[in-house]
Amino acid sequence: MANRRVTYTRRGPDWKIAQLCNANAEWEPRTVAQVVDDIESGRHQYYVDRGGFRTAIEVRETGMGKLLIADPRRHSDNNLENLLAFLCDKRRRLSPGTPEPMDRKSASG
């Protein structure tokens, strides 16, 4: 089993997280469905590490299906919503500096 650090996300046009990424890792990008399968099968673990605080990404069952969460209670920066985000495109791999990070304001305007 590998422990995989997530450093940024890619989001779809609906602004939902679509892929988890780490530009320095050969495994990226992984879709949310792939990560859910990896975690539930015990094949891999994923985590967020911001400011020296490591938080595991977990699968939670909701009325709307399975969601990925990183518990923000231990450190507020350590959750998926606070990671740098890019809009998804057709390129296989993006470096963290290209394209410019998108935020909710620029994505909607």
Classify residue 100: in a domain, yes or no: no
**Is-contact 79 48, C-beta < 8 A?**
yes
So what's the pLDDT on residue 73?
Answer: 62
Task: Confirm whether 98 is domain-assigned.
Answer: no
Structure tokens at 59: 């699968």
Decide which of 66 and 109 is more confident: 66
- Residue 14: what pLDDT? 80
Distance of CA 109 to the CA centre of its chain: 23
Show the domain range for 76: 2-90
Does 38 fall in a domain?
yes
Confirm whether pTM is higher than 0.75: no
Instruction: Domain count for the chain, please give it.
Output: 1
- 50 versus 49: the higher-pLDDT residue is 49
Query: Can you tell me the distance from the alpha carbon of 84 to that of 22, in angstroms, rounded to the nearest whole number?
Result: 11
Using DSSP's 3-state secondary structure scheme, residue 38 falls into: helix
- Give 50-64 pLDDT, tens digit per residue: 778 888 899 988 888
Per-residue confidence at 10, pLDDT binned at 50, 70, 90? Answer: confident
